[in-house]
C-alpha cells in the first residue's frame, strides 16, 4: 500500500472545497445515497493511463492530453459527471474505444486546479461502476452509452465479518511498517464503516498494478473481491516485513562498521600519542622490510598479495594478528641468504680431529664434500645418516661439521614425533596454526644453508594424524627439496643448500624409502684405547671446567681411566664414562672445598673410594675345561659383548631343550646345528645312535636378558660337538657366524663391536666367516695387533680349529650303552 502516486491525503484533502458536501470518507448512508443516484445513459469517457478509480474513492489526477483537458473543462462547466475507464495498454498515447477496458467508474469532478507547472489537476470521486456499451463519438473526445454494473451484496455473516476484520487489521499493520504511508491513511481506515467502501478504498491505494486493480473492479461479488484484496494484502505484508528486516540488518551492519571505524581512528590517535605503531605505520614497516629481501618474484608477488589483504582488514578483527604473524614469518625467513663456506681443508681437518677422537670415516666424508664444493660451488649438499650406539658422538659431530664449514648449526629432535604437521606445518585456517619445525629451524638459523641435524630419525612414530617419516621423504630428497612446501608458508622454500645429518641407533625402524635417500655411515663403538684418549682430551677438561677445578687439582693416568671404563661402565660410547669422571671431579672438589689433603693424581684405590665397589665384572674369558662350553660373540645396543653357550647331555630319548630367554632365530640356529650334527655324525666320529639315547640341553647364561640373532650358529654347533665327543675347546678362543644345513658358515654384522668385546675379555683367537674379512680390514691395526683371526667357509673347519684332540678331565663315557649321569 505504499503506491500513493495517484492518491495523497496530504494533497487531496486540502484541495476540496470547504463548502462541498462531500468528504473523502463516507458513511453507509452516504454510500446508499450514492448508489441510488441516477446515472446518465451516455457519458464522456476519460481514459486513465496508470490508475483505476473505485466507487467512493477520491483521487487527484493530472490531465495532460488535449482531448482530456477539453473533456474536463466541458464537464466542469456542466454537471461535472464523467466516465473514467483505464486503458488496457498504458503505452498508448491516444487510446481508441476498443483499447479501453469494458468496466469503468462514474466520477464526479470535485475540483479543477491549474498547477504552477502548467498541468491541470482535477480531484475526482468515484460514484458507481458501469459497463461500456457502444461508442457514440470519438471527437473531440470519446462519448459512449453505458450500462449500470450491479454489485452482488450477500447478507453479512460471521465469516464475512471476520474477513473484513482481517483486511482492516492487515492494512493497519502495513501502514505501521511502511514509512512512506502517511498516518492519515490509518485514521481513515479506522473510521470507514462501510465494508464495500473499505474494500474499494484499500483496493485503490494498495501496491498493485493497473491490471490487478482492474480485475478487482470487475468482480461483482463483494466477498470474492474481499478475498482478492486480502490475498494482495498478505503478499504486501510479507514483502514489507522482509524489506524491513533487510533494511534493519543493513542499518545494524553500517552502524557497527561506523562505530568500529570511529573507535579505530581514536585508537590510532591514542597509539600515535603514546609513541606506538599505528596499523598504517606497521604495514609500511612490513613493506620496507620486504623491499630489502632477496626473494624470488613468485614469493614477492605472494607477499604483496597478502599485505594488500592485510591493508583491507579491520585492525580489531581476529584475523588481523594472524595475518601480521604470517607476513612477519615470511620476512624472517632467510630467502636466498647463505653463509660463506670456509674451504680451508687443513683447518677443517684440525677442527674435526680436535673435537672428536676416531670416527675416521665420517671425517673423511666431510673433507670429501668440502673438496668437491671447493671445485664446484653449486653442488647439492649430501644427506648423511650416522648410525651407531648411544654416546659415540653422532649428535655432537654435527656441531663440529658446522664449525669446520663455517655454517650455522641447528638441531631438530625427531624422537616421539607422530604428527605430520610437525614437519609440514598447519594450514593457516586452523586456530593456533604455525609452520613446521623444518621452517622454524631455518628461521632460527637465519641462513638457507645451515648444518641441520635430524636427531633420532629412527624414533619417528606414526598414528591417525599422519606419518612424519613420509613427510621427511621430500625434505631428504636432493631432487625435491629445492621446492619444499610447508602448509603454513604456502610457497615453496629451497632446502637444497641445507646439509642434513640424520642420526640413528638402528636402521631397522627407518622406512626403506627414507633410508634409500640417505648416505649411511656407521659410527661404531670406541675401543678401550680410544675411550682413554677421549677421556684425557675431552671429558676430563670439560668436567674440570664445569666444576671449577684447575688442571693442577686433578689428573687421571691411563690405567686409572681404564679401570673406570672396565669396572664402572658397560657401553659403546662415552656418556656413562663422562658421568663417572664427573663423579671423580666432584669428589676432588669436595676435598678442596673442605681443605682436606689429597693426592691430585688419583689412584685405583681413590677411584673405588669415590665411586664405590666395581659395578661390572670384566667379561674375562672363562677356561673351557668342561666339555660343551664355547665362547661366542654378540652385538648389543650398547656395543659388543661375549656370551657362553653351554651344552650338556643326560640319558634320555634324544630330546633338545633350549633355555636362556632365546628368540626364534636363535632357537632355529640350535635346531639347525643339531640337525647338521646328526646328518654328519660320522665326520666327527660320533655314533648316530647316541642322538636317540641322550637328551641335549643348550643354555645361554644371563637368562633375564633377551637374546636373538643367527650369529651364534657356529658357537652352538661347536658346543654340541664338544659335548658329544667330550673334546675340550681350545683356550682363549671365541667365534661368531651363521650356519646352514649344508654346513656353510655365513657372515654376520656388528664385527667391530664384537672384536672390541673379545679384546676386553682377553680373547686371543677368533673364528669368523671368510666374508667378514672386509670388516676386519676397516679396524685400525693397533687395536687388533694381539688377535689372531681364522676365516672359514665350512663348519668342519670350525670344529678342526676349535676342538683340541684331548678330551676334558673327568670325561664321562658317552656311548650307546652308557647310562651316565648328567654332564656338569
Which residue numbers are catalytic?
A: 711, 754
Q: Report d(CA 74, CA 78) in Å as an integer.
A: 6
Number of H helices, E strands in the chain: 30, 26
Query: Residues in the chain, how many?
Result: 824
Strands 788-792 and 694-699: unpaired
Q: Report d(CA 717, CA 630) in Å as an integer.
A: 10
β partners of residue 696:
649, 656
Q: What is the DSSP annotation of 290-331?
A: HHT----HHHHHHHHHHHHHHHTS-TTSHHHHHHHHHHHHHH
Q: Report d(CA 582, CA 544) in Å as an integer.
A: 8
Nearest C-alpha neighbor of 525 from the set 620, 615, 635: 635
For residue 55, count other CB atoms closer than 10 A to its CB. Answer: 24
Name the phi and psi angles at 116, rounded to 5: -60, -30
Exposed, middle or buried: residue 646 (CB in 10 Å: 0-12, 13-18, 19+)? middle
Q: CA 762, 767, 771: angle at the middle one, nearest 5?
A: 130
Answer whether the bond into residue 140 is a cis peptide, omega within 30°: yes
**Extended beta strands in 102-206, E state:** 103-114, 120-137, 143-148
Q: Report d(CA 46, CA 87) in Å as an integer.
A: 10
Spatial CB neighbours of 445, under 8 Å, sequence gap ≥ 6: 334, 408, 409, 410, 452
Nearest C-alpha neighbor of 616 from the set 650, 569, 669: 569
CA dihedral of 103, 108, 110, 113, whole degrees rounded to 10 = 60
Cell triple for 659: 633355555
Are 571 and 390 contacting, i.e. CB atoms less than 8 angstroms apart? yes
CA distances from 651 to 684, 699, 818, 821 (A): 21, 17, 8, 7
Amino acid at each position: 500500500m505504499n503506491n500513493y502516486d495517484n492518491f495523497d491525503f496530504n494533497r487531496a484533502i486540502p484541495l476540496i472545497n470547504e463548502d462541498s458536501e462531500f468528504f473523502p470518507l463516507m458513511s453507509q448512508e452516504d454510500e446508499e445515497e450514492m448508489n441510488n443516484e441516477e446515472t446518465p445513459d451516455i457519458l464522456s469517457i476519460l481514459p486513465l493511463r496508470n490508475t483505476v478509480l473505485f466507487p467512493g474513492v477520491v483521487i487527484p489526477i493530472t490531465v495532460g492530453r488535449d482531448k482530456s483537458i477539453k473533456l474536463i473543462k466541458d464537464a466542469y462547466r456542466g454537471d461535472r459527471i464523467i466516465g473514467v475507464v483505464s486503458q488496457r495498454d498504458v503505452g498508448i498515447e491516444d487510446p481508441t474505444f476498443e483499447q479501453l477496458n469494458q468496466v469503468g467508474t462514474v466520477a464526479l469532478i470535485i475540483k479543477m486546479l491549474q498547477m504552477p507547472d502548467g498541468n491541470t489537476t482535477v480531484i475526482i470521486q468515484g460514484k458507481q461502476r458501469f459497463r461500456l456499451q457502444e461508442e457514440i463519438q470519438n471527437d473531440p473526445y470519446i462519448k459512449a452509452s453505458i450500462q449500470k454494473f450491479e454489485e452482488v451484496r450477500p447478507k453479512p455473516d460471521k465469516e464475512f465479518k471476520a474477513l473484513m476484520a482481517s483486511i482492516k487489521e492487515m492494512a493497519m499493520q502495513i501502514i505501521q511498517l511502511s514509512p512512506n504511508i502517511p498516518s492519515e491513511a490509518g485514521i481513515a481506515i479506522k473510521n470507514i464503516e462501510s465494508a464495500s467502501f473499505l474494500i474499494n478504498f484499500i483496493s485503490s491505494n494498495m501496491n498493485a498494478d493497473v491490471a490487478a486493480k482492474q480485475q478487482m473492479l470487475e468482480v461483482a461479488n463483494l466477498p470474492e473481491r474481499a478475498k482478492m484484496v486480502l490475498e494482495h494484502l498478505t503478499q504486501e505484508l510479507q514483502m514489507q516485513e522482509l524489506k524491513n528486516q533487510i533494511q534493519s540488518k543493513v542499518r545494524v551492519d553500517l552502524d557497527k562498521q561506523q562505530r568500529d571505524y570511529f573507535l579505530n581512528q581514536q585508537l590510532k590517535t591514542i597509539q600515535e600519542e603514546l609513541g606506538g605503531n599505528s596499523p598504517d605505520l606497521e604495514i609500511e614497516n612490513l613493506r620496507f622490510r620486504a623491499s630489502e629481501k632477496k626473494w624470488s618474484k613468485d614469493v614477492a608477488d605472494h607477499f604483496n598479495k597478502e599485505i594488500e589483504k592485510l591493508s583491507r582488514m579491520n585492525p580489531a578483527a581476529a584475523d588481523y594478528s594472524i595475518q601480521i604473524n604470517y607476513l612477519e614469518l615470511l620476512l624472517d625467513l632467510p630467502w636466498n641468504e647463505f653463509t660463506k663456506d670456509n674451504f680451508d681443508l687443513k683447518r677443517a681437518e684440525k677442527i674435526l680431529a680436535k673435537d672428536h677422537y676416531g670416527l675416521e670415516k665420517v671425517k673423511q666424508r666431510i673433507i670429501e664434500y668440502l673438496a668437491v664444493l671447493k671445485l664446484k660451488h653449486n653442488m647439492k649438499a649430501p644427506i648423511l645418516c650416522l648410525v651407531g650406539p648411544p654416546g659415540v658422538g653422532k649428535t655432537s659431530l654435527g656441531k663440529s661439521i658446522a664449525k669446520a664449514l663455517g655454517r650455522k648449526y641447528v638441531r631438530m629432535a625427531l624422537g616421539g614425533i607422530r604428527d605430520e604437521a610437525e614437519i609440514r606445518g598447519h594450514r593457516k585456517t586452523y586456530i593456533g596454526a604455525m609452520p613446521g619445525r623444518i621452517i622454524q629451524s631455518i628461521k632460527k638459523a637465519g641462513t638457507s644453508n645451515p648444518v641441520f641435524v635430524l636427531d633420532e630419525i629412527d624414533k619417528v612414530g606414526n598414528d591417525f594424524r599422519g606419518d612424519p617419516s613420509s613427510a621427511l621423504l621430500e625434505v631428504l630428497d636432493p631432487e625435491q627439496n629445492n621446492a619444499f612446501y610447508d602448509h603454513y608458508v604456502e610457497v615453496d622454500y629451497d632446502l637444497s643448500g641445507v646439509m642434513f645429518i640424520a642420526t640413528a641407533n638402528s636402521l631397522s625402524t627407518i622406512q626403506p624409502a627414507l633410508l634409500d635417500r640417505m648416505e649411511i655411515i656407521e659410527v661404531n663403538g670406541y675401543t678401550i684405547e680410544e675411550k682413554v684418549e677421549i677421556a684425557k682430551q675431552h671429558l676430563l677438561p670439560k668436567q674440570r671446567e664445569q666444576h671449577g677445578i684447575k688442571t693442577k687439582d686433578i689428573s687421571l693416568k691411563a690405567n686409572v681411566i681404564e679401570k673406570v671404563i672396565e669396572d664402572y661402565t658397560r657401553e659403546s660410547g662415552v656418556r656413562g664414562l663422562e658421568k663417572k669422571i664427573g663423579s671423580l671431579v666432584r669428589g676432588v672438589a669436595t676435598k678442596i672445598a673442605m681443605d682436606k689433603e689429597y693426592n691430585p693424581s688419583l689412584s685405583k684405590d681413590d677411584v673405588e673410594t669415590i665411586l664405590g665397589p666395581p659395578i661390572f665384572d670384566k667379561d674375562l674369558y672363562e677356561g673351557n675345561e668342561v666339555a660343551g662350553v664355547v665362547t661366542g660373540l654378540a652385538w648389543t645396543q650398547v656395543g659388543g659383548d661375549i656370551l657362553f653357550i653351554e651344552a650338556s647331555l643326560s640319558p634320555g630319548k634324544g630330546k633338545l631343550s633350549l633355555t636362556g630367554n632365546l628368540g626364534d632365530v636363535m632357537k632355529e640356529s640350535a635346531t639347525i646345528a643339531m640337525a647338521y650334527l646328526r646328518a654328519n655324525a660320522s665326520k666327527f666320529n660320533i655314533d648316530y645312535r647316541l642322538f636317540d639315547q641322550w637328551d641335549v640341553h643348550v643354555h645361554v647364561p644371563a637368562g633375564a636378558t633377551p637374546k636373538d640373532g643367527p650369529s651364534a650358529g657356529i658357537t652352538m654347533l661347536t658346543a654340541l660337538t664338544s659335548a658329544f665327543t667330550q673334546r675340550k675347546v681350545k683356550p682363549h678362543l671365541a667365534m661368531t657366524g651363521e650356519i646352514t644345513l649344508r654346513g656353510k658358515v655365513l657372515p654376520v654384522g656388528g664385527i667391530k663391536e664384537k672384536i672390541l668385546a673379545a679384546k676386553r675379555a682377553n680373547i686371543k683367537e677368533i673364528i669368523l666367516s671368510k666374508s667378514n674379512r672386509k670388516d676386519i680390514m676397516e679396524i685400525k691395526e693397533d687395536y687388533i695387533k694381539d688377535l689372531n683371526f681364522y676365516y672359514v667357509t665350512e663348519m668342519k673347519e670350525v670344529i678342526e680349529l676349535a676342538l683340541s684332540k684331548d678330551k676334558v678331565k673327568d670325561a664321562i663315557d658317552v656311548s650307546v650303552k652308557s647310562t651316565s649321569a648328567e654332564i656338569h
